[in-house]
Amino acid sequence: MKVLLKSASYLFHPIWMPLAGTLIYFLISPRFFPIQVMEAKLLAIAIMTIFIPITFFFMLKTLGRVSSHFMAEVKERKWPLLFYAGLIFVILKFVLDVFDYPELYFFFFGIFISTLIALLFLYFRIRASLHMMGLAGLTVFIILLSLHFHLNLIYTISFFLAVTGLTASSRLFLNAHTPRELLLGILLGFIPQLVIGFLWL
């Protein structure tokens, strides 16, 4: 059980959530997308949300600005979140088009808003669980896709709800967050996606 709980923090790290949402969108969307276009978008998003942030993290670690990838201290989170918000903005500006990929565009816009709010809270020394923020945002996005495209995604939604609970238990087990920080993370992921969802539903 301990191995499962520890593994959840790595397997469902928030860094994977934008790419996971993009992949799910292309897999279930009834719209036709050329395979070359899907591959290009997935590669671009993987580079912008995974590879570049990992490189930036190692740079900060080398400089002594962060101690671990979990960024336990409030001060350690400011630069990574600001940098990540900038990368999401680049995706919105140059990678995704609101007319061709409206659902996916607003999913990333929700991620952008959640990241900015989480960053703002840091200046009041309030930490939110980024794991919960990522999973909650992705789960709401899948629910909205299910409603929008009239698809039965109950098993996918159930899986991510279960994963969210498992990851929350993992964060508590590792003493990485308090219940309040987990709840705040869920709200930060949930509310922006839900509110922005009304723009494309």
The residue extents of the domains of the chain are 2-197
For the stretch 122-161, what's the b/e string if a residue is b when 16 or more beta carbons lie within 10 angstroms of its beta carbon?
A: beeeebbbbbbbbbbbbbbbbbbbbeeeeeebeebbeebe
Which is it for the CA torsion 117, 118, 123, 125, positive or negative? positive
Reply yes or no on whether the pLDDT at 69 is more than 70.
no
Q: CA-to-CA distance for 85 and 119, rounded, in angstroms?
A: 9
Reply yes or no on whether the pLDDT at 27 is more than 90.
yes
Q: Is 195 exposed, middle or buried (0-12, 13-18, 19+ CB in 10 A)?
A: exposed
Reply yes or no on whether the pLDDT at 2 is more than 80.
no
pLDDT at 176: 86
Reply yes or no on whether the pLDDT at 71 is more than 80.
no
Residue 192, both tokens: 């922006």
When pLDDT is cut at 50, 70 and 90, the band that residue 53 belongs to is: very high
Q: How far is CA 140 from CA 11, 28, 89, in A?
A: 19, 15, 21
pLDDT at 72: 65
Compute the average pLDDT of residues 67-96.
Answer: 88
Reply yes or no on whether the pLDDT at 68 is more than 80.
no
